[in-house]
Chain A
Amino acid sequence: MAGVELHRLRKEFGAFVALEGLDLRVEEGEFVALLGPSGCGKTTTLRMLAGLEFPTAGEIRIGGRVVNDLPPARRDVAMVFQSYALYPHMTVAQNIAYPLKKRGVPRAERAAAVARVAELLQLTPLLDRRPRQLSGGQQQRVALGRALVRDPQVFLLDEPLSNLDAKLRAHMRAELIELHHRLGRTMIYVTHDQLEAMTMSDRIAVLSAGRLMQFDTPGAIYDRPANRFVAGFIGTPAMNLIEGRIAAGRFTGQGLDLPLAPGLPEGPAVLGVRPEHVTIGEGAQRGRVRVVEPTGHETIVIAELPGGALVTARAPARARPAIGEVLPLGLDPDGLHLFAADEEGARIDPAR
């Protein structure tokens, strides 16, 4: 068993910088999700961990050992590829057995392992098919099976559930969590799906444009986003981000005027507030209702502030404010986040 450490990991493709100095320390047995928009470098990070791509600078450690100079075969990691990368000329059974074959596992043992994994992934009836005779979801399960058949130090999973239907996905999610508990292996899991990241992982690493934005537990990432990017990226509907300034202990902007906790630096700032911390129909602010979206278990209301900015609120399921109506609007003082107005947009906390 082994943790994974990335130290100042940098990757350039020609002039393009895919990762700029990534520092990440994954503990032994931890389940870490890599979350970020498309093209932010998630796959590149996994490929470097697996030894498929080589860092321009920086160090990779697995189980305390620097592995920069080791070929993939000797890093003892298993990987599920975003593209599945199933071997087209092999049957499902041969695909799953291939890693064992390469490691010299005897035939009988191989067959037993394949049967076990096939059972787990509901692939047993498909074992004799070729990849092109499978649906996308089935292929993805085979790809997963090829990783799970081994017992490596680290599992690298690149969006392993992206193509499954909702039911199978929920099922596989539970299976993976269970598997993680049982094996206690380090798992690094790339996903686009916040829900997956929030529900499955011990910690989440949020990446943007090749840089680590925040690395923390799901709760901390949700409750205390480290910067504007994370604040806007995590949560649906997204957190409201309102530009304004801090002066004399109050936030003003877009027609808002709110008292703040003491000890905040004065100057331009961005106020963040999640839709669930916005109440419609009561409060000290005002907004004109623009959009009303009943989703069934709640109603999403988008209101326009006097300054023109739009604010999203979660209202109870039965709420039906009329469009165009000007209503009172309240922001929960405990749900306010403040971020710097500069490029970085770092979180501003009251000085203690």
Chain B
Amino acid sequence: MAMTRIERRYAWLGLALIGPTVLVFCAVIVFPLVAAIYLSLFRIYTPTLEGAWVGLGNYAELLARGEFWQALRTTLIWTAGTLTLQMLFGIAMALVLHQSLWFRSLARSLVLFPYFVSTVVAVLVWRWLFNDLYGILNHVIMVAGVSDMPLDWLGTMPNAMVSVILVGAWKYFPFVVIAVLARLQTIPEALYEAARIDGAGPVARFFDITLPQLRDVLVVVVMLRAIWDFKEFDLIFLLTGGGPVTATQTLPLVVYKEAFSMNQMGMAAAHAVAMMAVMLVFMIVYIRRTRGGQGA
């Protein structure tokens, strides 16, 4: 199939327009990605950056070490926990905000705000709320009589994990709200009318109409949030630093620790690559789904 001259010219123009982007992509993403894999084959001392080839040695060591497996488990617990809460709160809040509510747009802004606020701000605020002596949470708990001792929210287990999961849910559930709300607004009112005529109550309407209509968007949201929660660094690092000891140390934190506390750049790269391999599963499922959706 011969292209006409003008078609070829357009193709070149298209390439020229994407060219700068591709260059930047190669320089800051593709090259580092390959380099990360390459680095993982060396033993590198971070301060001097001197390295020695160890082949797959880092990986062998990593798999043999309990730390990697423990971190993987922690990551999965954190992801599953915070994701579940995000989805539950998110869907519920979206349903509430979809109703006619007094000052709805103000309510919506207030609910969305945590998502856009910097993680640093979120963490500072929560650490102040969690503060053992003057934190408002401990005060409330003691006044309410739940406990007569201030709780150590971040320094003991399982409190630390619960706290991290809660703050994660608070910070990221608005994403679910926005996505679900947008989809809710496109469900035709006629569907509900028809169900109402057929005598379906509110609960039946939710399970028979709303939930099936939301299915596609929920799948996409779960995949996206799962990927993002899995790789979350800031929130956990800043809240607990992985502690107490290593109880909330997820994989991204291990990467950071290996590279900049243990000064083992190669080992850190091996952890990063291993973590990406796990994530790849989610990513492929997600990409599959969105591709299919776009073809339609």
Q: What residues make up the interface of A, taking CB atoms closer than 8 Å to B?
A: 51, 54-57, 68-71
| Residues of the B chain whose Cβ atoms lie less than 8 Å from the Cβ of A54 | 3-4, 6-7
Count the B residues whose beta carbon is within 8 Å of the partner chain — how many? 7
| Residues of the B chain whose Cβ atoms lie less than 8 Å from the Cβ of A69 | 4-6
Q: How far is the CA of A54 from the CA of B7 in the complex (A)?
A: 7
| Residues of the B chain whose Cβ atoms lie less than 8 Å from the Cβ of A68 | 4-6
Encode contact with A along B1-14: 1 for CB under 8 Å, 0 otherwise. 10111110100000
| Residues of the B chain whose Cβ atoms lie less than 8 Å from the Cβ of A56 | 1
| Residues of the B chain whose Cβ atoms lie less than 8 Å from the Cβ of A71 | 6, 9
| Residues of the A chain whose Cβ atoms lie less than 8 Å from the Cβ of B5 | 68-69
Q: How far is the CA of A68 from the CA of B7 in the complex (A)?
A: 10
Q: How far is the CA of A29 from the CA of B255 in the complex (A)?
A: 75
Q: How far is the CA of A69 from the CA of B3 in the complex (A)?
A: 10
| Residues of the A chain whose Cβ atoms lie less than 8 Å from the Cβ of B9 | 71
- Residues A55 and B6 in contact, CB atoms below 8 Å apart: no
Tally A-B pairs: CB < 8 A. Answer: 17
4 cross-chain pairs, A with B, having the tightest CB-CB distances, nearest first: A69-B5, A54-B7, A68-B4, A54-B4
B contacts with A: majority SS: helix
- Residues A70 and B6 in contact, CB atoms below 8 Å apart: yes
Q: Whose C-beta in chain A lies nearest to the C-beta of B8?
A: A69
A-B CB contact pairs (8 Å), 17 listed: A51-B6, A54-B3, A54-B4, A54-B6, A54-B7, A55-B4, A56-B1, A57-B1, A68-B4, A68-B5, A68-B6, A69-B4, A69-B5, A69-B6, A70-B6, A71-B6, A71-B9
**Given pairs A54-B3, A68-B4, 8 additional interface contacts (CB within 8 A):** A51-B6, A54-B4, A54-B6, A55-B4, A68-B5, A69-B5, A69-B6, A70-B6
Tell me the B1-32 residues at the A interface (CB within 8 Å).
1, 3-7, 9
Q: How far is the CA of A55 from the CA of B1 in the complex (A)?
A: 10
| Residues of the A chain whose Cβ atoms lie less than 8 Å from the Cβ of B3 | 54
Closest Cβ–Cβ distance, residue A237 to chain B (whole Å): 36
Closest Cβ–Cβ distance, residue A274 to chain B (whole Å): 44
| Residues of the A chain whose Cβ atoms lie less than 8 Å from the Cβ of B6 | 51, 54, 68-71
| Residues of the B chain whose Cβ atoms lie less than 8 Å from the Cβ of A51 | 6
Q: Whose C-beta in chain A lies nearest to the C-beta of B2?
A: A57
Q: Whose C-beta in chain B lies nearest to the C-beta of A68?
A: B4
Q: Whose C-beta in chain A lies nearest to the C-beta of B3?
A: A54
Q: How far is the CA of A55 from the CA of B3 in the complex (A)?
A: 9
Closest Cβ–Cβ distance, residue B5 to chain A (whole Å): 4
Closest Cβ–Cβ distance, residue A201 to chain B (whole Å): 30
| Residues of the A chain whose Cβ atoms lie less than 8 Å from the Cβ of B1 | 56-57
Q: How far is the CA of A148 from the CA of B9 in the complex (A)?
A: 30
Q: Whose C-beta in chain A lies nearest to the C-beta of B9?
A: A71
Closest Cβ–Cβ distance, residue A56 to chain B (whole Å): 6
Closest Cβ–Cβ distance, residue B2 to chain A (whole Å): 8
Q: How far is the CA of A224 from the CA of B9 in the complex (A)?
A: 46
Q: Whose C-beta in chain B lies nearest to the C-beta of A51?
A: B6
Q: How far is the CA of A69 from the CA of B4 in the complex (A)?
A: 6
Closest Cβ–Cβ distance, residue B171 to chain A (whole Å): 38
Closest Cβ–Cβ distance, residue A350 to chain B (whole Å): 44
Q: How far is the CA of A210 from the CA of B159 in the complex (A)?
A: 70
Closest Cβ–Cβ distance, residue B174 to chain A (whole Å): 32
Closest Cβ–Cβ distance, residue A235 to chain B (whole Å): 39
Q: How far is the CA of A292 from the CA of B260 in the complex (A)?
A: 91
Closest Cβ–Cβ distance, residue B63 to chain A (whole Å): 46
| Residues of the B chain whose Cβ atoms lie less than 8 Å from the Cβ of A55 | 4
Tell me the B68-87 residues at the A interface (CB within 8 Å).
none
Which residue among A54, A55, A70, A71 has the maximum number of chain B CB atoms within 10 Å of its CB?
A: A54
Q: How far is the CA of A56 from the CA of B5 in the complex (A)?
A: 13
Closest Cβ–Cβ distance, residue A60 to chain B (whole Å): 10
Q: Whose C-beta in chain B lies nearest to the C-beta of A69?
A: B5
Q: How far is the CA of A57 from the CA of B3 in the complex (A)?
A: 9
Closest Cβ–Cβ distance, residue B151 to chain A (whole Å): 58
Q: How far is the CA of A51 from the CA of B5 in the complex (A)?
A: 12
Q: Whose C-beta in chain B lies nearest to the C-beta of A56?
A: B1
| Residues of the A chain whose Cβ atoms lie less than 8 Å from the Cβ of B7 | 54
Closest Cβ–Cβ distance, residue A276 to chain B (whole Å): 45
Closest Cβ–Cβ distance, residue A12 to chain B (whole Å): 8
Q: How far is the CA of A68 from the CA of B9 in the complex (A)?
A: 13
Which residue among B1, B3, B5, B6 has the maximum number of chain A CB atoms within 10 Å of its CB?
A: B6
Closest Cβ–Cβ distance, residue A269 to chain B (whole Å): 41
Closest Cβ–Cβ distance, residue B236 to chain A (whole Å): 47
Closest Cβ–Cβ distance, residue A74 to chain B (whole Å): 9
Q: How far is the CA of A70 from the CA of B6 in the complex (A)?
A: 6
Closest Cβ–Cβ distance, residue A45 to chain B (whole Å): 16
Closest Cβ–Cβ distance, residue B97 to chain A (whole Å): 30
Q: How far is the CA of A167 from the CA of B64 in the complex (A)?
A: 85
Q: How far is the CA of A56 from the CA of B7 in the complex (A)?
A: 11
Q: Whose C-beta in chain B lies nearest to the C-beta of A60?
A: B4
